[in-house]
Amino acid sequence: MSSPIGFTARPTSIGRARIGILATPHGSVDTPGFMPVGTQATVKSLSPGDLRTVGAQIILANTYHLSLRPGHERIARLGGLHRFMSWDGPILTDSGGFQVFSLAHLGQVDDDGVTFASHLDGSPQRLTPERAIEIQEALGSDIAMALDQLVDGTLPVAEVRVAMDRTHRWAERCLAARSRHDQALFGIVQGGVDPALRRESVAAIAALPFDGLAIGGLSVGESKDDLAATLEVVAGALGDDPRVRYLMGVGSPPDFFTAVEHGVDLFDCVLPTRVARNGQLWTSVGRLNLRNARHLDDPAPPDPACSCEACTNHSRAYLAHLFRAEELLAYRLASVHNLTYTLGLMRGIRTALDDGAYGALREAVRAQYTSAGARTDKSAVTDR
């Protein structure tokens, strides 16, 4: 059976970094690429039109949330997720594996699956590999994810292994359960931050006929060094496997560079949109907290180097006011900006990988987003 997606990539001169195109039933995605997270069939505060404008080529939605509300059967009856939310671009659905981790206190995992007390009404909800596939097939996403068990990677190796072994068994069950051939299915590598476990997990998952490979279980509390070291291990173990590589849940601007250099093609993260709603902008001059008093009289655009709606039309003072007044426009404008920045950064990375400017771009972003320079928003514009 031929894969419902296509992926072609070519190497670059930067580490294992490559530039590619991921083709899906609903369109293509340039890689390295970033997926905004739209858990509940919406990237919070943004319309599909906004998503197009900020440059999104693919978004992520969630199995667990949508099965609870409004219900995947309902979405299927209404024509599937794309039609339901009026987004005709590619959609990847997460399997609910992350909720096994984030809602751990509401759930109980066994070898067959996981039982949650619904965060909405407390009702018992059962998620198994088969069920996760059934739901995602009903939603009709372009790419489905295998159900995995995610744990704190710094836990004792024995505990990480239990979750990893379970993830491997669930991966085979997900493959066996799939019935749609117009939907890709990605497997997920686990194994915490232990090199041996990671290598073992890569061997197990990469041996299966998944359409793409995801690296899970990272950016859940481990150090940056552990993140980089683990990516190195996974990249080495993956070798020249031709499939698209998706690093789940990453990341911050500096994280993208680390991962790209280890051959990662695809990212998703709630950070740009979540921190936006909490008043933090990612800009060409570093992080900016719009709730800080110093912006109240600042007529400068949030990011002088940005051409998004917020930066074209509005001042820092205005956005600072909107956040204080808790006006809904604050959340939309900040989200528009952060996604414009993040997707622009990915575009910049793709370009820089080719034209020799990659190292300079990486150092510039690192300088802006590491602790010392992170909150520096002094710019030529603010100094006027």
Question: What would the DSSP string read from start to end of 276-328?
Answer: HHTTEEEETTEEEETTSGGGTT--S-S-TT--SHHHHH--HHHHHHHHHTT-H
Q: Which is nearer to RNA, 55 or 279 (CB)?
A: 279
3-state secondary structure 93-107: EECCHHHHHHCHHHE
Q: Which is nearer to RNA, 178 or 224 (CB)?
A: 224
Write the binding mask 55 to 84 for RNA: x where contact by CB under 7 A, - elsewhere. Answer: -----x-x--x-------------------
Residue 94 annotated in active site: yes
Q: Is residue 216 a contact point for RNA (CB under 7 A)?
A: yes
What are 44's two structure tokens?
């919070």
Q: Which segment (71-79, 278-286, 299-307, 360-368) binds RNA by CB under 7 A?
A: 278-286
Task: Check whether the bond before 32 is cis (ω within 30° of 0).
Answer: yes
N-terminal to C-terminal alpha carbon distance within the chain: 62
**Annotated catalytic residue: which of 268, 298, 303, 377?**
268
| Rounded-to-integer distance, Cα 341 and Cα 222, Å | 25
Residue 182 annotated in active site: no
Within 324-363, the residues that bind RNA by CB under 7 A are: 324, 326, 328, 331
Q: Is residue 187 a contact point for RNA (CB under 7 A)?
A: no
- Whether residue 164 contacts residue 201, with contact meaning beta carbons closer than 8 Å, is answered with yes
**Looking at 21, 23, 76, 106, which residue binds RNA (CB under 7 A)?**
106
Q: Which segment (71-79, 193-201, 287-295, 311-319) binds RNA by CB under 7 A?
A: 287-295
**Annotated catalytic residue: which of 94, 265, 298, 303?**
94
Rounded to 5 degrees, φ, ψ at 80 are: 95, 165
- Whether residue 290 contacts residue 319, with contact meaning beta carbons closer than 8 Å, is answered with yes
Active-site residue set:
94, 268
Binding site for RNA (CB under 7 A): 37-39, 43-45, 60, 62, 65, 94-95, 97-99, 101-103, 105-106, 119, 145, 148, 150, 188, 190, 214, 216-217, 219-220, 224, 248-252, 255, 268-271, 273-275, 277-280, 289, 291-294, 296, 324, 326, 328, 331, 374-375
